[in-house]
A and B are shown apart, each in its own frame.
Chain A
Amino acid sequence: MKRFKGKISKLLVLYIVLFSSVVTLVLTAIQLRIDYNQGVSNLHQHINQIELTNIASITQSVWTIDNPSIQIQLDGLIRIRDIIFVEIKNEDGKLIASSGNTSTQNTIERQMPIVHLYRNKKTPLGTLTVIATKDYIYQQMIDTVITIMVSQAIKTFLVSIFILVLFYYLVTRHLQKISEHSDKIELTKKPIKLKLDRNKYNSIENDELEIVINSINKMSNNVYQTYIDLIEKDAKFGAIFDSLSDAVVITDINRKIIQVNHAFNEEFGYSNKELKNNTTQIIYANPDEFLTQGKKRYNAKTKNEISVYEIEYRRKDGSTFPSETMGGAIKLPDGSHIGYIGIIRDITARKLAEAETAQLQEQIQQSHKMEAIGQLTGGIAHDFNNILSSILGYAELSKDVLRNSGEEKLLKYINNIDSAGKRARDLVAQLLTFSRSGSSKPQQIDLEALINDVISLITPTMPSSIKLTKEIAPDTPHVLMDDTQMHQILMNLCINARDAMDNHGQLTIKLSHENNVDGSCSSCKNHIQGQYVKLTVEDTGTGIQQNILEKIFDPFTTTKGIGKGTGMGLSVVHGILHKHNSHIIVDTVTDKGTCFHLLIPPIENTVIKQTIPATTDTETRTLLNDSKNKRILVVDDEASVTEFMQDFLQSQHYIVTTTTSSKQAIELFRNANTEFDLVITDQTMPEMTGDKLVRELLDINPHIPVILCSGYSETIDEKKALELGCAQFLMKPISNTALLQAIRETLSS
């Protein structure tokens, strides 16, 4: 019996018993219902029969009021099966006779009127009541139930046993064999064909078992073939996967790492064993990003998106690197989500290139900005210089005229005009310095000495509450700078430092030789690298706010009050430094202080050039006395300038010819070149620039001395002018003394 104890066998028996029981119950219920209806029908028929056969005689007995006869008849009725009670009542409801009893409840009651035809009228005599019991019906039904149940139980038991045996013989034993065969199937081994022990008596061609066997054999072969295919595909995929240069990671839906390629191992430094059972959290530089990116990928998953994002990762050795990661959900063709894939590309190099590009762009922008401002200020300076030349020239002439006239008040006014004009000249000079167009005379400078000079100059202007110190490194190389401009730079920075400290703090000037500077210029934004002499002006003042820091080198930018600063100090510093291939780095901390580091290229073999003392006005005048009656051609497109020059030079006993046209000047010179001893020409003129005019004139007379004057020019400077053949190069506005000195020097050479 053990072989029949399988679960299916139990279920089969259970279902057979259940189904058979249900069917038996249903059919029995139907049978009982039919029997009941039949029994009730029979009862009614009995009663009907009573009505048909007995009512006439009963009526007659009642009509004759023959009570004994009535009683006899009723007693007779009672003997009929199922009839348990009969009674007759007259038309007033009074009992005439009765028989039997009504102790049982399951009854059928019928009342039959007793009517006698009297004088052709139906005369009611009373009612015959017949009560029949259904007990017999119920008893029959109980007998039926017992019979059916017992017979069905026996039948069900026998059928179940038979079906069990049959089921085992036809199905179960084969299922056991199929099960044993399936247990032996191994994915990696070629499957063995399954055959069942069946003969022609217990099988039919193409029956269900044969179909199952064929399907299992086919499935085994297919699974094995699929396994072979998968191995091949896996090998191909692995080769492709590992050949990718980008790091690739595949995770499950909980972001636990399932597979990575070689590039991943190499990039992050983790072995596959180390990655096992880890989530991708271990590779995030910022662990919080693990959750953030998880949410983004989850959202992208719902939208079927592959996202490309930049994020920083951390290698096993702790180093981090920026990456461009392409991440997204992995879905099967049926849409089910099984995990995530991330393709990680190290973009460190790209980021550096981008940073350099950005810096370069910033440098270009800054350079363009400074160039534009320089051009603007240069252009303005040129026109101002022409105007100032006339103003200052005439002011000096007027002073000469008035000096011995006794007009003291008028002389005072003229002095004020001269003083204001000189301030304007200085400002224009600063503008030119910023635009790097001003003249400079680079020379080797010992910055230590220069610092000492500046300290001695500035100390008196410093409040005693500001401590002034210096830190000079020994053997600091000299630099090639315009001495005056270097003074100007250091003075400007010191004054700015003083003003930033609000009368309290410390001003430190440092000088050192830096062999390996690596930084970015704060004004031109160029990258600075190499050997520099570093001159630092450090204060403990309020510092410079970031929004202002970007603009401190722009002209007319100042944080000082109205009238306290021109806003040109740092612009001049920028202009001078960059004209001398130098740079400046600003370090500032709000409320802590600011450091200006001037980085100036050092020079070797220091030779300190002796400064030539300036010639005094008196000496100049003396020199000029020897040059009177010399003939001078003055060329300037500005009529006010030529008019002044004519007035001034004639006052100095020169014979002056003026023209505002460079072409006319050539014409005049060609026609009478031997009549002129000197040509003084402006550089910037509409018809022909000064340098071109000089070439023309020298072509006509190579010995003619020429003084080239310029208010502003990008194309000419002192060096170029001298190379061109000019005797002198003067920057406007030119003081009368300087002009006379230049003329005298030129004519005397």
Chain B
Amino acid sequence: METKSIFFTLFLFFTFNNPCSASTVLHISTGFTAPVSDFYRNVLAEADKRMDEISIKFEALPAERSLVLANQGINDGECCRIPAVIASEYRNLEPVDISFFKAKFSAFSKNQNIKISAFKDLKPYSVGTVKGWKIAVIKVNEAKPREVHIVTTPDQLFQMLQQDRIDYGIVGYLSGLQSILNVHATDVRAIEPPLIEKQLYLVLHKKHNALIPLFNKTLSEMIEDGSIEKIYNELVQSLTPNIMSN
């Protein structure tokens, strides 16, 4: 009886401590807030299912802190960034080759009749954007609109739109949808096309360079099989229960 117990213990020990058979836990954070962060979570959750070698734990953090932690190696990756923008400051981060999300900065307004296709078109108007959205803030300031309001949160921006305190609010597309929902800014709509579109990539700490092919493969498969698009669409539907976009 005792002999059987010993063998069973040794079996369990070697089974769960064998590096070949164990899953590598990757802590991947994101600086995006909901609903973008929800999109990432769902995508990475699906990818996690498809990669037996690793196990992904996802969490949302303050935008820059997320990058810092990944760069420090405290976390294993960050989701998701424009590699060219962060490459000089965060040298420990390596992007995967496959982008599964295109970030959009759109102009939201009650007035859908005026065509805004570029930031320079915003010059005659009172424009607001959200602090922390660096590209948006820079572009708005470069456009030199009549008024510029940098607010703390997207909800704040959409309340100002709803109350006509500004003419246009520049914010991420999905975030804008979330804020419309949050503050019941039912008169506000996103103006097409988005003012900026950028491909974002998952970046891993360079100690995990070996996993990049695995991610490339998995994400390609998910793009090819439409899994990612499905996740995106489900998110957009949840954010626009009463509004049909596109």
A residues at B contact (CB < 8 Å): 63-66, 118-119, 123
7 A-B pairs closest in CB distance: A64-B62, A65-B64, A65-B65, A63-B65, A64-B65, A65-B62, A63-B62
Does B82 reach chain A (CB closer than 8 Å)?
no
Shortest Cβ distance from A94 into chain B, in angstroms? 12
Across the interface, do A123 and B74 meet the contact criterion of CB distance under 8 Å?
yes
Residue on B nearest A63 in the bound complex, by CB:
B65
Q: Which residues of A contact B65 (CB under 8 A)?
A: 63-65
Q: Which residues of A contact B69 (CB under 8 A)?
A: 118, 123
Does B68 reach chain A (CB closer than 8 Å)?
yes
Q: Complex Cα distance A143/B140, Å?
A: 57
- Which of B27, B62, B63, B74 has the largest count of A CB atoms less than 10 A from its CB? B62
Shortest Cβ distance from B185 into chain A, in angstroms? 26
Q: Which residues of A contact B62 (CB under 8 A)?
A: 63-66
Q: Complex Cα distance A65/B64, Å?
A: 6
Q: Which residues of B contact A123 (CB under 8 A)?
A: 69, 74
6 A-B pairs whose Cβ atoms sit less than 8 Å apart in the complex: A63-B62, A64-B64, A64-B65, A65-B62, A65-B64, A118-B69
The DSSP consensus for interface residues of chain A is loop
Interface string of B66-82 (1 = CB under 8 A from A): 00110000100000000
Across the interface, do B74 and A118 meet the contact criterion of CB distance under 8 Å?
yes
Residue on A nearest B27 in the bound complex, by CB:
A119
Q: Complex Cα distance A65/B90, Å?
A: 15
Shortest Cβ distance from A315 into chain B, in angstroms? 127
Shortest Cβ distance from B134 into chain A, in angstroms? 12
Q: Which residues of B contact A65 (CB under 8 A)?
A: 62-65, 68
Residue on A nearest B131 in the bound complex, by CB:
A68
Q: Which residues of A contact B64 (CB under 8 A)?
A: 64-65
Residue on B nearest A62 in the bound complex, by CB:
B65
Q: Which residues of B contact A66 (CB under 8 A)?
A: 62
Q: Complex Cα distance A66/B65, Å?
A: 10
Q: Complex Cα distance A63/B61, Å?
A: 9
Interface string of B6-41 (1 = CB under 8 A from A): 000000000000000000000100000000000000
Q: Which residues of A contact B68 (CB under 8 A)?
A: 65
Q: Complex Cα distance A65/B89, Å?
A: 15
Q: Which residues of B contact A64 (CB under 8 A)?
A: 62, 64-65
Q: Complex Cα distance A65/B74, Å?
A: 16
Residue on A nearest B62 in the bound complex, by CB:
A64
Shortest Cβ distance from B205 into chain A, in angstroms? 15
Size of the B side of the interface (Cβ < 8 Å), in residues, is 8
- Which of B63, B64, B65, B74 has the largest count of A CB atoms less than 10 A from its CB? B65
Q: Complex Cα distance A578/B162, Å?
A: 184
Residue on A nearest B68 in the bound complex, by CB:
A65
Q: Complex Cα distance A123/B63, Å?
A: 17
Q: Complex Cα distance A377/B69, Å?
A: 155
Residue on A nearest B132 in the bound complex, by CB:
A66
Q: Complex Cα distance A66/B64, Å?
A: 9
Q: Quick one: which of B45-65 are within 8 Å of A by CB?
A: 62-65
Q: Which residues of A contact B27 (CB under 8 A)?
A: 119
- Which of A64, A65, A66, A123 has the largest count of B CB atoms less than 10 A from its CB? A65
Q: Complex Cα distance A724/B83, Å?
A: 188
Shortest Cβ distance from A68 into chain B, in angstroms? 8
Q: Complex Cα distance A65/B27, Å?
A: 20
Shortest Cβ distance from B43 into chain A, in angstroms? 22
**11 new A-B pairs (CB below 8 Å) besides A118-B74, A119-B27?**
A63-B62, A63-B65, A64-B64, A64-B65, A65-B62, A65-B63, A65-B64, A65-B65, A65-B68, A118-B69, A123-B69
Q: Complex Cα distance A399/B16, Å?
A: 182
Shortest Cβ distance from B68 into chain A, in angstroms? 7
Q: Complex Cα distance A174/B24, Å?
A: 108
Shortest Cβ distance from B222 into chain A, in angstroms? 27
Q: Quick one: which of B161-187 are within 8 Å of A by CB?
A: none
Q: Complex Cα distance A394/B178, Å?
A: 200
Q: Complex Cα distance A66/B153, Å?
A: 13
Q: Which residues of B contact A63 (CB under 8 A)?
A: 62, 65
Q: Complex Cα distance A119/B65, Å?
A: 14
Q: Complex Cα distance A64/B74, Å?
A: 16
Q: Complex Cα distance A66/B69, Å?
A: 15
Residue on B nearest A121 in the bound complex, by CB:
B74
Q: Complex Cα distance A96/B27, Å?
A: 26
Shortest Cβ distance from A749 into chain B, in angstroms? 185
Residue on B nearest A92 in the bound complex, by CB:
B72
Q: Which residues of A contact B63 (CB under 8 A)?
A: 65
Q: Which residues of A contact B74 (CB under 8 A)?
A: 118, 123
Q: Which residues of B contact A119 (CB under 8 A)?
A: 27
Q: Complex Cα distance A119/B75, Å?
A: 10
Residue on B nearest A91 in the bound complex, by CB:
B72
Q: Which residues of B contact A118 (CB under 8 A)?
A: 69, 74
Shortest Cβ distance from A330 into chain B, in angstroms? 107
Shortest Cβ distance from A210 into chain B, in angstroms? 93
Residue on A nearest B59 in the bound complex, by CB:
A119
Shortest Cβ distance from A95 into chain B, in angstroms? 16
Q: Complex Cα distance A119/B64, Å?
A: 17
Q: Complex Cα distance A123/B62, Å?
A: 15
Shortest Cβ distance from B149 into chain A, in angstroms? 15
Shortest Cβ distance from A611 into chain B, in angstroms? 174
Q: Complex Cα distance A65/B69, Å?
A: 12
Residue on A nearest B63 in the bound complex, by CB:
A65
Shortest Cβ distance from A456 into chain B, in angstroms? 167
Q: Complex Cα distance A63/B62, Å?
A: 7
Q: Complex Cα distance A65/B62, Å?
A: 8
Residue on B nearest A67 in the bound complex, by CB:
B64
Q: Complex Cα distance A558/B68, Å?
A: 148
Q: Complex Cα distance A66/B63, Å?
A: 10
Q: Complex Cα distance A64/B68, Å?
A: 10
Q: Complex Cα distance A123/B27, Å?
A: 15
Shortest Cβ distance from B192 into chain A, in angstroms? 33
Q: Complex Cα distance A119/B27, Å?
A: 10
Residue on A nearest B57 in the bound complex, by CB:
A119
Residue on A nearest B74 in the bound complex, by CB:
A123
Residue on A nearest B67 in the bound complex, by CB:
A65
Q: Complex Cα distance A123/B74, Å?
A: 9
Q: Complex Cα distance A64/B64, Å?
A: 7
Shortest Cβ distance from B196 into chain A, in angstroms? 23
Q: Complex Cα distance A118/B64, Å?
A: 15
Shortest Cβ distance from B103 into chain A, in angstroms? 20
Q: Complex Cα distance A118/B63, Å?
A: 15
Q: Complex Cα distance A512/B87, Å?
A: 166
Q: Complex Cα distance A63/B29, Å?
A: 14
Q: Complex Cα distance A65/B71, Å?
A: 15
Shortest Cβ distance from A72 into chain B, in angstroms? 13
Q: Complex Cα distance A65/B61, Å?
A: 11
Q: Complex Cα distance A119/B58, Å?
A: 12
Shortest Cβ distance from B15 into chain A, in angstroms? 26
Q: Complex Cα distance A64/B60, Å?
A: 12
Shortest Cβ distance from B107 into chain A, in angstroms? 25
Shortest Cβ distance from B70 into chain A, in angstroms? 13
Shortest Cβ distance from A451 into chain B, in angstroms? 162
Shortest Cβ distance from A56 into chain B, in angstroms? 16
Q: Complex Cα distance A118/B62, Å?
A: 12
Shortest Cβ distance from B60 into chain A, in angstroms? 12
Q: Complex Cα distance A500/B64, Å?
A: 153
Q: Complex Cα distance A123/B29, Å?
A: 16
Q: Complex Cα distance A64/B69, Å?
A: 11
Q: Complex Cα distance A329/B145, Å?
A: 127
Q: Complex Cα distance A66/B61, Å?
A: 13
Q: Complex Cα distance A64/B61, Å?
A: 8
Q: Complex Cα distance A63/B63, Å?
A: 10
Shortest Cβ distance from A470 into chain B, in angstroms? 160
Shortest Cβ distance from A112 into chain B, in angstroms? 20
Residue on B nearest A65 in the bound complex, by CB:
B64
Q: Complex Cα distance A63/B64, Å?
A: 9
Shortest Cβ distance from A347 into chain B, in angstroms? 127
Q: Complex Cα distance A119/B62, Å?
A: 15
Q: Complex Cα distance A428/B160, Å?
A: 186
Q: Complex Cα distance A673/B148, Å?
A: 208
Q: Complex Cα distance A323/B62, Å?
A: 131
Shortest Cβ distance from B172 into chain A, in angstroms? 18
